[in-house]
């Protein structure tokens, strides 16, 4: 397995949408399509990637707005944690109404829970349930890399003041699910630049 990560910053909230795939086989998935862009479609086609899942790390509108469009193009289920699944179908719960940014809603077709291993072709995904930013937030670990959604950022942590947020839960998630990973683990956050677990452990002012 040779993980390749393609990133596009989408929506006015600058969400990182990721296409993660095995460069050896072309098996991959789409993570947090806040918006679906033509360039994502072209990238997948050009690199002959098979998208096995459309995975939302959580149900905020800025991470899910491209679900429906991606789903129309690819035969891949939309997946998220059951506690955030209602957000995918609701302009109110996803925050879309509150921010005044309408999106096309869609349903979660499959749910994922803590510790679950999902096979995206040759890629093995491990789901880490990391509540705190939202009740059903997850991080996705693939080999030595982890996609942290809005749980952990380079130099920051997710907000816990939105509906469903919980400060204690967020810090517990970060401590017990992320900070136990090897220092060299690379993190791909839902916003902003990449980092490493060891770098965050030493320099993140919130931890």
Give contact residues for Zn ion (rule: CB under 5 A).
60, 150, 190
Strand 152-153 with 145-149, pairing: unpaired
Separation CA 22–CA 10 (nearest Å): 23
Taking the least distance from each CB to Zn ion, the nearer of 150 and 200 is 150
CB of 135 to Zn ion, least distance (A): 12
Report whether 191 contacts 14 (CB < 8 A): yes
Q: Which CB, 163 or 176, lies closer to Zn ion?
A: 163
Smallest distance, Å, CB 162 to Zn ion?
7
Residue closer to Zn ion (CB basis): 60 or 141: 60
Nearer to Zn ion, 123 or 187 (CB): 187
- Candidates 113, 122, 107; CA nearest to 71 is 107
At which residue do the structure tokens 């050009």 appear?
46
Task: Tell me how far, at minimum, the Cβ of 189 lies from Zn ion, in Å.
Answer: 9
CA dist 200 and 207 (Å) reads: 8
For the bound state, the minimum distance from the C-beta of residue 205 to Zn ion, rounded and expressed in Å, comes to 20
């Amino acid at each position: 397995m040779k993980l390749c990560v393609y990133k596009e910053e989408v929506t006015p909230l600058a969400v990182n949408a990721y296409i993660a795939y095995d460069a050896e086989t072309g098996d991959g998935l789409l993570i947090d399509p806040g918006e679906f862009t033509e360039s994502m479609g072209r990238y997948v086609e050009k690199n002959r990637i098979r998208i096995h899942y459309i995975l939302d790390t959580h149900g905020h509108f800025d991470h899910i707005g491209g679900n429906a469009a991606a789903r129309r193009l690819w035969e891949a289920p939309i997946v998220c944690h059951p506690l955030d699944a209602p957000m995918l179908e609701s302009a109110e719960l996803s925050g879309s109404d509150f921010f005044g940014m309408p999106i096309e809603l869609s349903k979660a077709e499959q749910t994922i829970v803590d510790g679950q291993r999902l096979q995206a072709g040759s890629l093995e995904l491990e789901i880490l349930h990391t509540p705190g930013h939202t009740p059903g937030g997850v991080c996705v670990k693939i080999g030595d890399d982890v996609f942290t959604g809005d749980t952990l950022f380079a130099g920051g942590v997710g907000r816990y003041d939105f509906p469903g947020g919980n400060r204690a839960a967020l810090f517990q998630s970060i401590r017990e699910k992320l900070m136990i990973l090897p220092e060299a683990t690379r993190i791909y956050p839902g916003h902003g630049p990449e980092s490493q677990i060891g770098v965050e452990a030493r320099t993140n002012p919130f931890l």
